[in-house]
A and B are shown apart, each in its own frame.
Chain A
Amino acid sequence: MARGMRLWIAAAIGACLVIAVAYLPPRGGVREPPSPFRLMLPQLTPARLRAQALADAWRAAAAEVRLQESRARLDIDLARLGSANGGPALLIDGPDSAVSFLGPTLRAELETTWRRLGLGVTKVAVVVVVHVPGSGLTGGAAPPEERGGGAAYLLPDSTDRTTCVVVLQAGYWILDLLKTRRLRWAGQFRTNLKDSFGPCAFYAAYGNPSKPVRHWLANRNFDLALSPVWDEAGNVERTAWWLVDSRSGRWWWEMIYRLSPSTVGCLAGRATECKGAVLDGVDYAFDDSLPRVVVPGRRWWLRQGLVPGERYLADVARDVGHDRFLRFWNSPFPLDTSLAEALKMPIGRWTERWERRYVQRVPLGPAAPRSASLLAMLLGAVAVTTVALTAQRRQVR
């Protein structure tokens, strides 16, 4: 065998070895570092999905029953109660000792939060009903998963257009207040209270929405209006912590691919997908029967249409201003028209820019890792150099 041929064969074998070392996993395969989410979220099998859907339906029905029971048993004129002092009315459903202690503190905090939202006397009055464990008024304790402090909402309808009821299970913050008899972490407590107002704050600030807006939001369980934070800019750390590891910058793909395709597309910076994610739930043949009760599901943030969808409409209101948002909220025109008109730009483009405030662009599609690209370029350069050197030495006889 010629000497030159041997050299080529050796070079090829060497290259194969380099590639093998770089790419082939060691024996037994590579284990991914343990993920806290994997422990929390079991694999979604059809049976588990079915069970979760049933559980969600049961929770929604139970919350609706409790809302109606609260209203019937408390037997007060909620509308007048709410409009009497301009702020939200507070009803505490619990043992007398809890009511007497929590009442003044909660009332003061609710008033403060209300004022920070720029609200005064509103057409739609908000009534906050707080259930403290141990009370018998609502006919039974809340299920364990609702003891985390989740809220449910009874929205105004044709039987009562001027009252929005927030039913709040006493969760960690309120129970801590009750236990320690002092308000620790007042900032978080107020943030939590503000979030608890949910869609009711939008109803208070902008009135009952027009039919297209009402149907759109109802069809998607008001996921875009759960956090009325139009008084403050968003916080990246608070919104995308479950999508990306802040220390390593590594994406939690398992979480990302639990979202809908349009949501993932929007995270990747595709404006058309952003528009699709926003307009999900728009229907053009309005059915009159809309659910009056809104119960955000358990781990609702894992299924939201936009990230962070809970503050989408609050950010729209903050960006476009009160008057333009009010026109959108009350517009009888189709939603894509009225929202684009309020934003003064295409919905997809605005939403894509909004998404970038909270989540950096998710890289989608096939992409070679940097190390592999570098290695490939290196090998290519070696090959080209070798060929060039060989060609330089070649002699034609």
Chain B
Amino acid sequence: MTRLRTLVEIVVLALLLAPPLRSQGNRWERQVRDQLQRAAATLQNARSGPAQPTRTGTLNAEESASFTVTLEAGVSFDIVGVCDNDCTSLGLTLATMSNNDIAADRTGESFPVLHLSPTVTASYRVKVLMKACQMNPCWYGVGVYRK
């Protein structure tokens, strides 16, 4: 009985560990995930987690991608963009669903950050622009953190 319990525990442990191991992906994806973790450690309060699941993907130079996030009114957020080591410039823009820009970081660096406190709880569009990538495609990641 004890052996059976041990076996079940091993299987459960393996099932719990397997998805993160599989999702590590290639080295460029790992670079992005590592950077997001470092950004989270730097920016966020230790007690609170990411407000939204982080987004990762690939883009060629001069291409962009958008996704939607829901932000609560009166809460301060940090939206951080990171990209792999081949990427030299990444742009990040937050806009309303009607495409009015609210905040943008177009400094041309590979680590754009947006700070904002929405006045209305609503869905917003986050747009990532891969401005420069030395070897296409470049992996990017975006994290939304509650302050």
Which residues of A are at the interface with B, using a C-beta cutoff of 8 A?
80, 83, 121, 123-124, 156, 158, 161-162, 206-211, 326, 330, 332
The verdict on A332 contacting B61 (CB below 8 Å), with A207-B136, A207-B137, A326-B134 known, is: yes
Chosen A-B contacts, 25 in total, with CB atoms closer than 8 Å, are A83-B25, A121-B26, A121-B27, A123-B28, A123-B86, A123-B135, A123-B137, A161-B59, A161-B137, A162-B58, A206-B135, A207-B136, A207-B137, A208-B60, A208-B136, A208-B137, A209-B136, A210-B61, A211-B62, A326-B134, A326-B135, A330-B134, A330-B135, A330-B136, A332-B61
Dominant SS among interface residues on chain A: loop
Number of interface residues of B (CB under 8 A): 16
Within 8 A of A (CB), among B26-74: 26-28, 58-63
Q: A123-B136, A206-B135, A208-B136 are in contact. List 13 more A-B contacts (CB 8 A).
A: A123-B26, A123-B86, A161-B58, A161-B59, A207-B135, A207-B137, A208-B60, A210-B136, A211-B62, A326-B134, A330-B61, A330-B135, A332-B62
User: Chain A CB within 10 Å — which of B27, B62, B134, B137 has the most?
Assistant: B137
Residues in A whose Cβ lies below 8 Å from that of B136: 123, 161, 207-210, 330
Provide the bound-state CA to CA distance between A83 and B28, in Å. 11
Provide the bound-state CA to CA distance between A369 and B58, in Å. 62
Within 8 A of A (CB), among B103-147: 133-137
Dominant SS among interface residues on chain B: loop
Q: Quick one: closest A residue to B134, CB to CB? A: A330
Q: Quick one: closest B residue to A160, CB to CB? A: B58
Provide the bound-state CA to CA distance between A162 and B25, in Å. 12
Q: Quick one: closest B residue to A84, CB to CB? A: B26
Provide the bound-state CA to CA distance between A56 and B86, in Å. 39
Which residue of B27, B62, B134, B137 is within 8 Å of A162 (Cβ)?
A: B137
Contact yes or no, B60 A161, CB < 8 A: yes
